[in-house]
């Protein structure tokens, strides 16, 4: 009976070792992954690359936005949650800015609404010399609206430095940069 107990105990130890080894191998493979990270909703697909490049693609209208943080990213992962707008998915990451200061960034999109929210976290004291997001690609719509000045004079020809920029097309498709 004692011998049977020892052999069962040995089998359990071997199984535990194999499970731990399998978990360790899986974790190592995930850590070595160098590909992009993507999230999708019915409205938006967000992709973030370890080199700092990111794209946001909407389905309707078929618009593409993109940019680059300008630094290598670490700790890239996907988070889910709910807030006052609704349920969301978010790609979050960390990086060191041009000053060597630790920063965090996130791109959130909502599952039931065509909304994208960028988050920029300063994890240490640093001047804002490399703000996020910095879009280098966005749709070339034929129209825009901004306002400027003390009385918020609306303009379709200039770009107000102190207001959001509203872009739109003849079909009423609109996006705001604020």
Residue-wise pLDDT for 6-21, tens only, equals 334 333 433 333 333 3
Strands 64-68 and 37-40: unpaired
Mean pLDDT of the chain: 81
CA atoms within 13 A on the CB side of 162: 7
Domain carrying residue 43: 33-125
pLDDT of residue 127: 81
Residue 26 lies in a domain: no
Q: Which pLDDT value is given to residue 12?
A: 40
Q: What is the pLDDT of residue 34?
A: 60
CA 4, distance to chain mean position in Å, is: 55
Q: Is residue 173 part of a domain?
A: yes
92 plus 174 within the same structural domain:
no
In a domain, 6, yes or no: no
What span, in angstroms and rounded, lies between the C-alpha atoms of 74 and 87?
Answer: 25
Domain count, the chain: 2
Q: Indicate the Cα dihedral angle 125, 46, 51, 30, nearest 10°.
A: 100
| Domain contains 17 | no
Q: Which residue ranges in the chain fall short of pLDDT 70?
A: 1-34
Predicted pLDDT of residue 63: 95
Looking at the fold, whether 43 and 96 belong to one and the same domain comes out as yes
- Evaluate whether residue 90 is within a structural domain: yes
108 and 58 within one domain = yes
pLDDT for the residue 59:
94
Q: What is the pLDDT of residue 92?
A: 98
């Amino acid at each position: 009976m004692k011998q049977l107990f020892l052999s069962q105990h040995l089998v359990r130890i071997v199984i535990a070792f194999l499970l731990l080894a399998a978990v360790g191998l899986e974790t190592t493979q995930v850590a070595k992954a160098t590909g992009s990270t993507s999230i999708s909703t019915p409205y938006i697909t967000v992709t973030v690359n370890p080199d700092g490049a990111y794209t946001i693609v909407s389905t309707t209208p078929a618009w593409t936005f993109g940019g680059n943080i300008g630094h290598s990213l670490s700790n890239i992962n996907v988070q889910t949650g709910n807030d006052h707008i609704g349920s969301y998915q978010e790609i979050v990451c960390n990086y060191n800015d041009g000053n060597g200061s630790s920063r965090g960034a996130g791109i959130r999109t909502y599952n039931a609404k065509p909304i994208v929210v960028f988050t920029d976290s300063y994890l240490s004291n640093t001047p804002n010399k490399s703000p996020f997001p910095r879009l280098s690609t966005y749709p070339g719509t034929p129209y825009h609206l901004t306002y400027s000045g003390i009385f918020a004079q609306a303009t379709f020809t200039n770009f107000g430095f102190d207001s959001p920029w509203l872009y739109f097309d003849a079909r009423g498709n609109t996006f705001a940069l604020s």
